[in-house]
Structure 1
Amino acid sequence: MTTVQIPERMNFAAVAPRVFKAVLALDAAAREGIDPVLLELVQIRVSQINKCAYCIDYHTADARKAGESEERIYQLSAWHESSLYTAEERAALALSEAVTLLPGGVSDEVYAQARQHFDDRELAQLIALIFTVNAWNRMNATTRKTPGTQ
């Protein structure tokens, strides 16, 4: 099987190092206090929606390191139809999709569902995680950063 090489448009970290470092700092702050498995599920799902191959590759590897099963990783794009996710994970994934697909807004129902599982601090961290992975996806997809590139 021959693979297709997708040329990277630019090395964002090299040409905009201050912005890149700021997003790294935001990323570190957003991760604080979030369960590592939930964190990776959210980042994978948002990256799937945004079609960011680099981030999907990166976060599925990290999910495996955090103990996530292959089955749950494979079914994540169809989590609505899967019984493999907890109520808390489902609330986080619903919020992730609503924030990522913002033109429809975050409904009161989705927000209330998340509130049932996360206190104010946890919910703020989750929202920060979601907008941070969206920033990474937009940076990497726009510049065509692909798995295997630095």
Structure 2
Amino acid sequence: MNAHAAARIAPLHENDPRSHDPVLEELVDFVGYRPNALLTMARKPGVVPALLQLLGVTLRGDGLLTQALRFLIAAEAARGARCRYTTTHLVHAAHHVGVDWDKLAALPSYRDDPRYTQQERKALAIATAGGSLPVREPGQAITQARQVFTEEEIVEIVSCVAMVGWFNRWNGLMGSELEPVPSEALAYVPWLQDLEV
């Protein structure tokens, strides 16, 4: 399936009243477009507001970690699942909250790349461990993270990784079609092209 194939279940048309939940409108204001995945989820009443509330608690808004780090963690978790739609969205969102394209392009090399701090590397190692199932060596990643993070901060890191799991599975099953706005990330972050759709 290529990046422009039709979704397995079509998203709601933007004129459909179910596609205009107030919580969704706030997200549209933040990212600048209507995510097709959410317009498909909107077919099941209650899913979009519940999911976006969880997204607001984990990735957006106030937190112990910066929003930029939380989106980096989420992008690495999605990269581990090889979901191009989810990863592209999260890379685009990370750039939207201030992460440079060059740093995002270097994400697969975060362990050695000088653009990443030791603290970021330890957070991203948790995302790498939890980015696919079965989870790979979580004990080691969390033990190393304890050197620089509190337990509450580690819980925040894991919540970002877990949040991405919903989107990876949804988009992998539904074949959500990537929108033009987040697609701009493909020009700056070449490894996105290597992911599954």
Same fold at TM > 0.5: yes
Q: Aligned runs of 1:56-67 on 2, under 5 Å?
A: 56-67=87-98
- Is 1:8 paired with 2:38? no
Q: Structure 1 residue 64: deviation in Å?
A: 1.8
Change (3 A) 1:136 1:81: same
By relative contact order (CA 8 Å, sep 6+), the higher-ranking structure is 1
Deviates more, 1:54-63 or 1:110-119: 54-63
Deviation at 1:102, TM superposition (A): 4.0
1:95 aligns with 2:126: yes
Amino acid at match of 1:17: P
Q: Which runs of 5+ in 2 are unaligned?
A: 12-39, 181-197
Cα displacement (A) at 1:148: 0.9
Distance of 2:3 and 2:137 partners within structure 1: 37
Q: Check conservation: 2:78, 2:87, Cα contact below 8 A.
A: yes
Paired AA for residue 27 in structure 1: L
1:41–1:4 CA distance, 2 compared to 1 (3 A): closer
The SS at the match of 2:46 is helix
Structure with the larger helix share: 1
Matches within 5 A, 1:63-74: 63-74=94-105
Report the TM-score when normalising by structure 2: 0.66
> 35, 39, 52: which is aligned to 1:24?
52
What's the CA shift for 1:106? 3.5
Question: Given the alignment of the two structures, is residue 123 of structure 1 paired with residue 154 of structure 2, yes or no?
Answer: yes
> Do the aligned residues in 1 keep the contact of 2:3 with 2:177 (CA within 8 Å)?
no
Equivalents in 1 of 2:89, 2:140: separation in Å? 31
Paired positions, count: 147
Give 5+ residue unaligned stretches, structure 1. none
1:4 to partner: Cα distance: 5.8
Q: What is the DSSP-based 3-state SS (H/G/I as helix, E as strand, rest coil) of the residue aligned with 1:145?
A: coil
Structure 1 residues 77, 105: closer, same or farther in 2, change over 3 A? closer
Shift of 1:73: 0.6
The answer to which of 37-46 and 95-104 deviates more is 95-104
Superposed counterparts of 1:71-82, under 5 Å: 71-82=102-113
Percentage of identical aligned residues: 24
- Aligned-partner Cα distance in 2 for 1:50–1:107: 16
Q: Describe the superposition over 1:26-71 as per-residue Cα deviations: whole angstroms up to 9, x where unpaired.
A: 2211234131211121121122222222222222222222221121
2:83 is the alignment partner of 1:52? yes
Distance 1:25 1:64, change over 3 A: same
Q: Tell me which amino acid in the other structure corresponds to 2:149.
A: F
CA-atom RMSD in angstroms: 2.1
Q: What's 1:112 paired with?
A: 143
